[in-house]
Amino acid sequence: MLNLDFVSLRFGDGWLSYDDRFLFIHNDSSMRRRHKKVKRCAVPCLKISVIAILFIIYFSSFPSHCRGDTTKYFYDQSGRIDRVVTDSSGEIYSYDKLGNLMSVQLEPTSASAPVITSASPDVVFIGEGCLVKLIGDNLLPTESVASGNPDLSIKVVSVSDSEILAEMTAVAVGTATVTVTNSYGQDSTDITMSDATLSFSPERLLLKPGDSGPITVNINQPLASELTINLANSFPEFASLPESVTIPIVGETNFTASALEVGTSEVSAGNAKSLIVVDEPLTGEFPNLSSQPVSVRIEPPQQIIAPVISNGISIRVEPPQQIIAPVLSNPISVRMEISQYVPGITVSKLVSVAIQ
């Protein structure tokens, strides 16, 4: 009989040991002994068994998509990996505007058909794309979001297990059925396409870092009920905005834009857009500026057979090197007396002054 030295191999919370007659299986609280009849092949056979056990224990600690679960990979419009989804979990990849990977978010899911509970908003306006959130369950494995109406096109922006954010563009008035499909089934919801006009005011909002200002939202048609629209913020590092705003039945409301740092960002919802410019205020010293009256003489014609129209007069004022306050000028009125030709008629024209 072959004599073997005592050997011990540890794995996980337990270990194996054997001598020339027995194989011992240990854990922290118990031990089992298995009798082994040792032949000349006992050493290699036992090593193979130990390696197989260790292999099983090692791979049992891997995530499910590293074992036998079905794994699916999804990519964004730029060809970057967007989601990795198995039967029970998924990974969501996020990138910055330069394409750098920012985060990987883990989310549970299930091998079930999608369920859509609501769409927010369920109305899109004809024109440029409106952001619509499809809210529900089992959405992470989504393979397609399609419209049953060719007048509504859809581009998926992001997907989580409870929400799909999609950009929907309508070209005609009507209703479209939007269907979400995965490997296990599908679900649908209706979207209304409206010719109402959504607008933002002002079109340009100038703020300094740390300040905030209002932007007014208006719909030119009466609403049957309040409507929540989603806002797109082109550069959230420059300006902070709410993700959405609810418009009451009266058709008008406000939301607040907060300036973060110097830069420019555009807030939009379909065709409605507003530019937010964040800049530091002008500071410094400058001498007092004064202006003299501008005299304009217009020789009247001998006979007036038509109104006399004059173009605006532009006056350029060179600013000082440093400005601590804006320079304002009042309009200049040019008065032309023509009462000697047409009794009782006096014509005045405004002259604009431009400060570069």
Q: What percent of the chain has pLDDT over 70?
A: 60
Q: Rounded distance, CA 96 to CA 36, Å?
A: 61
Alpha carbons 296 and 333: distance in angstroms, whole number: 10
> What is the residue extent of each domain of the chain?
7-61, 69-195, 198-278, 285-356
- Could you tell me the CATH superfamily of domain 69-195? Immunoglobulins (2.60.40.10)
Q: What is the pTM of this model?
A: 0.58
Q: Dump pLDDT digits (tens) for 32-62.
A: 554 444 444 444 555 555 565 655 555 454 5
156 close to 168: Cβ distance less than 8 angstroms: no
Contact indicator for 268, 238 with CB cutoff of 8 Å: no
pLDDT tens-place string over residues 135-192: 999 999 999 999 999 999 999 999 999 999 999 999 999 999 999 999 999 999 999 9
Q: Return the pLDDT at 175.
A: 95
Whether domain 198-278 has CATH 2.60.40.10: yes
The one-letter code for the residue type at 89 is: S
Whole-number Å distance between alpha carbons of 254 and 12: 60
Structure confidence by residue, pLDDT tens digits, 211-244: 999 999 999 987 788 999 999 999 999 999 999 9
Query: Worst-scoring range by mean pLDDT, 144-148, 188-192, 264-268, 348-352?
Result: 348-352
C-alpha dihedral sign at 139, 144, 145, 146: negative
Domains 69-195 and 198-278 share a fold: yes
